[in-house]
Amino acid sequence: MQERRPSHRTLALALCACAGLLTPTLALAQAAAPAPAASQPASAKPAGPAPGKKPSSADILAASKPTDWRTVDPELALQMELPAGKVIIELASAFAPVHAANIVKLTRAGYFDGLAVIRSQENYVTQWGDAEEDDAKARRKPDTLAKAPVEFSRPLKGLKLSALPERDTWAAKVGFVDGWPVAVDPKKGRAWLTHCNSIVGAARGNEPDSSDGSGLYAIIGHAPRALDLNITTVGRVLQGMDKLSSLPRGTGALGFYEKAEERTPITRVRVLADIPEAERPRLQVLRTDTATWQAWLNSRRFRGGGWFVHEPSKVELCGALPPVRSAP
């Protein structure tokens, strides 16, 4: 129908958009949407590149093998239900084990159910938790909740880094570990999960160790990498980022909602493992220790033959988060 057909010019930019930034949300959205060749879902039949055209990101995903994908552990992922829809978050237990365990414990105790999104600041963060946490009205936390230590970084030892050759403004070395965007300080032997768009962190006060996982935020704009090593990053939104990024921004200082009624209520949060199998989302993240991953990165670096007239020849850590799909 008329409305479904984008115009020549808009579609062309769209094509470049698709090849240019295949977001997890988009990857999944497109699996269900009529899409041009360059944005076929990963579950589609392998389609070779057109003559004279280099393989697109979608071509690479379409040709991927089942073993190229890592299935998300349902014991380490959450489904947060908002009025607008579901947000699926994977927890980074390798980087913030105590916070991750706390968040699972809080979720199973029903701590987040009925709380709200309390802040949305343009090009920065959307934050949720207990707006009354410092008051008598504060919601009770499970007695078994651990006092969380600072988990801003972890030892590099034990991590299999798939490093990017590209230089990074913020860190000496960057790359991916099991699909997580990671920065490294080789001298100090430390590694940390970086503040890219869609990464989730644990809000803290002025004391570095004052976070416990009960207050969380997601990056909704350009990666604020200055936050790296200053606050604990705990996960990544794998699906439903738009439910957090398209909220009205708060009109109070720093994007806080000025009135309680402006907040978005959190209907319910569940650990994926606690959702009946029939309705449980089964997501997979493209593995970053494979030839397919390297081919996908190259499809982002070299895009000649189509809409692109200048080969970027580069990828950037926070602009190349691994694609996410529903398990076929």
Q: Does 215 bind a second copy (CB under 8 A)?
A: yes
Binding letters toward a second copy, positions 255-294, x by CB under 8 A: xxxxxx----------------------------------
Nearer of residues 100 and 116 to a second copy, judged by Cβ: 116
Q: Can you tell me which of 113, 268, 316, 326 binds a second copy, judged by CB under 8 A?
A: 316
Query: Residue 247 in contact with residue 117, Cβ under 8 Å?
Result: yes
**Hey, which residues between 104 and 123 contact a second copy (CB under 8 A)?**
118-123
Q: Which of 48, 26, 51, 28 is nearest to 37 (CA)?
A: 48
The two structure tokens encoding residue 245: 């990024």
Q: Does 79 bind a second copy (CB under 8 A)?
A: no
Nearer of residues 14 and 92 to a second copy, judged by Cβ: 14
Q: Can you tell me which of 79, 93, 107, 211 binds a second copy, judged by CB under 8 A?
A: 211
Q: Does 242 bind a second copy (CB under 8 A)?
A: yes
Nearer of residues 30 and 107 to a second copy, judged by Cβ: 30
CA dihedral 129, 133, 137, 139 (to 10 degrees): 60
Cα 92 vs. chain centroid, distance in angstroms?
Answer: 11
Q: Does 299 bind a second copy (CB under 8 A)?
A: no
Q: Minimum Å distance from CB 67 to a second copy?
A: 28
**Adjacent-strand bridge partners of 107:** none
Q: Does 206 bind a second copy (CB under 8 A)?
A: yes
The two structure tokens encoding residue 3: 């409305």
Q: Minimum Å distance from CB 274 to a second copy?
A: 27
Q: Does 185 bind a second copy (CB under 8 A)?
A: no
Q: Can you tell me which of 9, 45, 140, 147 binds a second copy, judged by CB under 8 A?
A: 9
Q: Can you tell me which of 55, 129, 179, 181 binds a second copy, judged by CB under 8 A?
A: 129
Residues near a second copy (CB under 8 A), total: 104
Q: Minimum Å distance from CB 136 to a second copy?
A: 11
β strands within 212-262, DSSP E: 216-219, 233-239
DSSP sequence for 68-115 = GEEEPPGGGEEEEEETTEEEEEEE-TTT-HHHHHHHHHHHHTTTTTT-
Nearer of residues 74 and 322 to a second copy, judged by Cβ: 322
The region that residue 255 occupies, defined by phi over 0 for left and psi between -120 and 50 for alpha, beta otherwise, is left
Q: Does 6 bind a second copy (CB under 8 A)?
A: yes
Query: Residue 202 in contact with residue 230, Cβ under 8 Å?
Result: no
Binding letters toward a second copy, positions 141-160, x by CB under 8 A: -----------x--------
Measured CA to CA in angstroms, residue 127 lies from 182, 214, 277 at distances of 22, 11, 29
Contacts of 210 (CB under 8 A, 6+ apart): 204
